Structures are given as structure tokens and as C-alpha cells.
């Protein structure tokens, strides 16, 4: 095979590849967004004072104080020896952690920091972090934590998945599930692979996730149905 013939063959293969990819994305997003859009509650009025979402896996409980101006204000309780979530990144909001008792551990950029009463820790958006409890104390946050309402809604769904779906976090399906949650504003990404890789992968795999039956909202995990 001559060099020119080889180049023509590669060009033809690439053309078919992009045609197939374009058809997959076009049809997939048409089905996802137009023909079979997800039915979800109105997030702007979803939370009410006293609503609770709890994760037995993370040993963490959030109690809603109020929802206003696009934020959900929660008080949090972190149980003894709570493992916390995986190391993760938020791209659109900062977090501030303050506690009233005990000692909260926070892994930030690979370094463990300790937060004690009277201290606070500001975690800027884009910073890999992981809160957890290494002590036998039940830790209470001071005041409230302000979450963007889309994140709070996604967190309530993730808590339900973690505690009720034995495959969540242990199979490739977890990636597809998280893609749909992040598309809906959950805004929680792993610290690795690079963020851009995760976002491009999410864009490419969103139609596949919907075709395989994954959703960003499951009514059975509504906070109203899971009060502790």
C-alpha cells in the first residue's frame, strides 16, 4: 500500500467515525432533551425547613433550615468515625466549614487539616477536598452551610443512591449516574482524572447513560420520603 493510499484510507475511516459520532450525539441528545426529557420537581421550591437528608454510608445528616435566593441553608451532623465522601471538587461554589464541638478532619490538596471550635476553613471552588471524622464525637456544624440548590438536590439523590443501590460506587454504572447528576447541577467531580477529561467524557456519554436507564432524579429518594 502506497503512502497516498494509506492516507486516503485513514481519512475515510475518520470521516465515517465522525459521521457515526455525530449521529449518536444528535439522536441521543434529541431523545434525552426533547422526546424523553426527565420529569423532576421544581427545585426552586423543593426544600422546606425541617427536611432531612441522611447518608448511612457517609454517616452525615443535613437538616434544612431554609431555602431562598437559589441557596439551601442546612445544619449538618457528622457521626463518629464518619468516612465522608470521596475527594472531590466543586467548580462553581466555595465552602466554609465551622463546627461547635469536637474536631473535624479535612483533606485539602492532599494535606489533612484539623478544624476545632472557634476555627473555620474556607475551601475555594476548584480545590480537591474531603471532610471526615476521625474521632468518637458527633460533630455539629456552627450556624448553617449554604449550598446552591441544585447541589443540595443532587446531594439528596446521591445519599439515597449510596444507601440503597449496592452497585453505586462499585461499578462502571456509577460514572454514568454521576454524569447525569452533574449535568443537572450537582457540580461534584473527582480530583482525578483532570476536570476537562471528566466533562468531555460526560458530554459524550450522556446519551448512553439515558439509553441505559439512568436518571438524575428518582422520586423514591425524595427527602420527604427519607426523613430520619
Mean pLDDT along residues 113-118: 95
The range of the structural domain enclosing residue 118 comes to 43-225
pLDDT in tens, 13-57: 899 999 999 999 999 999 999 999 999 999 999 999 999 999 999
Distance of CA 147 to the CA centre of its chain: 12
**For residues 71 and 149, is the Cβ–Cβ distance under 8 A?**
yes
| 25 is a domain residue | no
Count of domains in the chain?
A: 1
Sign of the Cα pseudo-torsion (109, 113, 115, 120, in order): negative
How close are the terminal C-alpha atoms of the chain, in Å?
70
Q: What is the pLDDT of residue 162?
A: 92
Compute the distance between CA of residue 228 and CA of residue 220 in angstroms, rounded to an integer.
Answer: 15
Say which CATH number the domain at 122 has.
2.60.120.10
| 10 is a domain residue | no
| 20 is a domain residue | no
Compute the distance between CA of residue 182 and CA of residue 21 in angstroms, rounded to an integer.
Answer: 22
pLDDT in tens, 159-217: 999 998 888 888 889 999 999 999 999 999 999 999 999 999 999 999 999 999 999 99
Question: pLDDT-based confidence at 6, cuts 50/70/90?
Answer: confident
| 22 is a domain residue | no
| 84 is a domain residue | yes
Which own/partner pairs from 104-110 qualify as long-range (CB within 8 Å, at least 24 positions apart)? 104/78, 104/131, 104/132, 104/133, 104/139, 105/131, 105/132, 105/133, 105/134, 106/130, 106/131, 106/132, 107/131, 107/132
Amino acid at each position: 500500500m502506497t503512502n497516498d493510499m494509506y492516507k486516503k484510507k485513514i481519512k475515510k475511516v475518520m470521516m465515517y467515525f465522525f459521521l457515526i459520532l455525530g449521529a449518536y450525539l444528535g439522536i441521543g441528545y434529541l431523545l434525552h432533551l426533547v422526546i424523553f426529557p426527565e420529569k423532576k420537581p421544581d427545585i426552586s421550591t423543593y426544600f422546606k425547613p425541617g427536611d432531612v437528608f441522611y447518608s448511612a454510608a457517609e454517616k452525615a445528616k443535613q437538616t434544612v433550615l431554609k431555602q431562598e435566593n437559589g441557596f439551601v441553608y442546612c445544619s449538618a451532623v457528622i457521626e463518629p468515625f464518619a468516612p465522608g465522601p470521596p475527594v472531590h471538587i466543586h467548580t462553581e461554589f466555595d465552602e466554609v466549614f465551622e463546627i461547635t464541638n469536637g474536631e473535624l478532619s479535612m483533606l485539602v490538596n492532599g494535606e489533612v487539616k484539623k478544624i476545632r471550635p472557634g476555627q473555620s476553613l474556607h475551601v475555594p471552588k476548584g480545590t480537591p477536598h474531603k471532610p471526615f471524622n476521625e474521632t468518637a464525637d458527633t460533630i455539629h456544624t456552627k450556624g448553617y452551610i449554604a449550598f446552591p440548590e441544585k447541589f443540595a438536590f443532587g446531594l439528596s439523590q446521591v445519599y439515597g443512591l449510596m444507601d440503597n443501590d449496592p452497585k453505586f460506587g462499585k461499578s462502571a454504572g456509577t460514572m454514568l449516574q454521576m454524569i447525569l447528576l452533574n449535568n443537572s447541577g450537582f457540580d461534584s467531580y473527582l480530583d482525578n482524572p483532570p476536570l476537562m477529561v471528566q466533562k468531555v467524557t460526560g458530554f459524550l456519554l450522556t446519551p448512553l447513560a439515558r439509553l441505559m436507564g439512568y436518571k438524575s432524579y428518582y422520586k423514591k429518594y425524595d427527602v420527604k420520603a427519607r426523613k430520619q
